Copies of this chain bind each other. A is one copy, B any other.
Amino acid sequence: MNEASPLATVHGQPTWQVVRAEILRRIRARYWEPGALIPGEMVLAKKFGCARATVNRALRDLAEEGLVERRRKAGTRVALHPVRKATLEIPVTRIEVEKRGASYRHAVIERETAKPPELVASKLGSGVKKLLHLRSLHFADDHPFIYEDRWVNQVAVPDVMKESFEHVSTNEWLVRNAPFTHGDITFGAENTTEAEAQLLEAHEGDAILVIQRITWSEKMPITFVRLAHAPGHRLRTTI
């Protein structure tokens, strides 16, 4: 096991990635054990024969992935409990359907201005009164794909009242017209109610994946949406 080889002889790859890979190798080989202190950036830079900024880039990347923990003055340590992070892409429904090679279509089932149920109101904040309620279905190749139940804050997005959403899905329209700054998402499994089952062409009680999302623009809540996916729907990702 080589100790201090000045930059491994790898080509094509940027130096910081080579450094990153070498540090990763040492961590995995237990050369630096979990919880152990890794040499400082200047030391590593000299060892690898590169600039400190390059080592910094490598370590910063590893820190973002949760494999090392960095603190000023305290130094860099190998993470005790490397929390792996899986990133799920949240595309617009139309794109998601088309990516599966299916044709997309959507239909608005109900559209009303109404008082939200307590559950929705509490999540959006008590100050939100005027809400547009939209229920719609997204289809993939004419099969129900997602049943969407959405509440939109009219104060945050006044233009929403002018749009029928017959040609553009609410989802896509909002991305264009009311970009959000941040949001909360929860993933869960639920048994379909009779009504949902009918809409999704499923059987009552079928297990479905339900995603709830609330988005804000700064401090102003924009929308709450509950997406009930057809049975069998799966989310995939890699780590």
Q: What residues make up the interface of A, taking CB atoms closer than 8 Å to B?
A: 28, 34, 81-92, 95, 175-176, 179, 182-191, 205-210, 215, 229, 231-239
Residues in B whose Cβ lies below 8 Å from that of A84: 89-90
Taking the nearest CB of chain B, how far is it from the CB of A233, in angstroms?
Answer: 7
Copies of this chain, tallied across the complex: 2
| Residues of chain B lying within 8 A (CB to CB) of residue A176 | 34
A236 adjacent to B186 (CB under 8 Å): yes
- Determine whether the beta carbon of B183 is less than 8 Å from that of A239: yes
Complex contacts, A86 vs chain B, CB 8 Å: 87-90, 185
Give the residues in chain B near A82, CB-CB below 8 Å: 175, 179
Is B188's CB under 8 angstroms from A209's CB?
A: yes
Residues of B within 8 A of A183 (CB): 238-239
In the complex formed, the residue of B with least CB distance to A239 is B183
Cβ–Cβ contact A208 & B207, under 8 A? yes
Report chain B residues within 8 Å CB of A92: 81
Taking a contact as CB atoms under 8 Å apart, the answer to whether B85 and A235 are in contact is no
The answer to whether A185 touches B236, judged by C-beta atoms less than 8 angstroms apart, is yes
CB distance from A230 to the nearest CB of B (A): 10
**Residue ID in chain B nearest A190 by CB atoms:** B207
Cross-chain contact A87 with B90 (CB below 8 angstroms): no
Q: Across the interface, do B81 and A188 meet the contact criterion of CB distance under 8 Å?
A: no
Complexed CA–CA distance, A229 and B92 (Å): 28
**A190 pairs with B189, CB closer than 8 A:** yes
Please judge, given known A-B contacts A85-B89, A191-B207, whether A185 and B239 are in contact too, CB under 8 Å: yes
Q: How far apart are the CA atoms of A103 and B237 in the complex, in Å?
A: 30
The answer to whether A185 and B83 have CB atoms under 8 Å apart is no
Our pick among B189, B207, B237 for the contact of A185 (Cβ within 8 Å) is B237
Q: Which residues of B sit under 8 angstroms from A209, Cβ to Cβ?
A: 187-189, 209
